[in-house]
Structure 1
């Protein structure tokens, strides 16, 4: 059961850090399924490792938890993982002045994940594999159902 807000908790306590699930940034999900950003700012099937790598590179304090988003239908390990990020210092000032809100952090993650080396390698190999398959599907369209 969730605990009520406690004013004695500091911003540096892990319970006060913001939560980011991969589904928040997944372009294949709808808003009703948990996506938080517009599709043009999202990424196709992000993982918690990619989110963690981007945030660590930006200089945030990050924690990874083995949790699953409540609206996630699949229980696979690919969709598992919750990232905790410290957004504010104990005095209430942002840890990073360019990212004072959760929405700006999510937008930054969405624009940075496609620039990762692991993503760029997948993208070029995906384009090569899709080209031969499209030409082979055109050949089989001569006969239809009878």
Structure 2
């Protein structure tokens, strides 16, 4: 059973925030990562976090122009924040499998590599690497 949508901005302020840096295996704890490296994902985006959380039935909001205070890189790919509703107005959980912020972050990190955008990118990258590797070997032979 999914939570009802938040009715007012004050309700939305109670949503917890998840920044992509929290799930990024390229970041250290000091740089903002909040889950173990072994479970983290390479360069997740706020849109990907939103996608996996909304599929499971969580009430989510994407704020594209927000950034983590520890993020020094101002590129567009590092921007964004996802607001997730864990509890209803009466304090009861929206979904029992997500009792905490950490449980949502671990779930998102587990599901992001399975997204179609991630699996299609790896297939295209493998094809583009093969011609590039051949040209590197030829350069080595000429020397």
Unaligned runs of 5+ in 2: 1-9
Count of residues paired in the alignment: 133
State which drifts further: 128-137 or 60-69. Answer: 128-137
TM-score (structure 1 length as normaliser): 0.81
Match of 1:113 in 2: 112
TM-score (structure 2 length as normaliser): 0.82
Where 1:85 maps in the other structure, the secondary structure is strand
Unaligned runs of 5+ in 1: 1-11
Q: Measure how far apart 1:39 and its partner are.
A: 1.9
State which drifts further: 57-66 or 106-115. Answer: 57-66
Provide closer, same or farther for how the CA distance between residues 39 and 133 of structure 1 changes in structure 2, counting only shifts above 3 A.
Answer: farther
Runs of 4+ in 1 over 4 A off after TM superposition: 138-144
| RMSD value, Cα | 1.9
Q: Which residue, out of 33, 36, 40, partners 2:34?
A: 36
Q: Does 1:45 align with 2:71?
A: no
* Larger helix proportion of the pair: 2
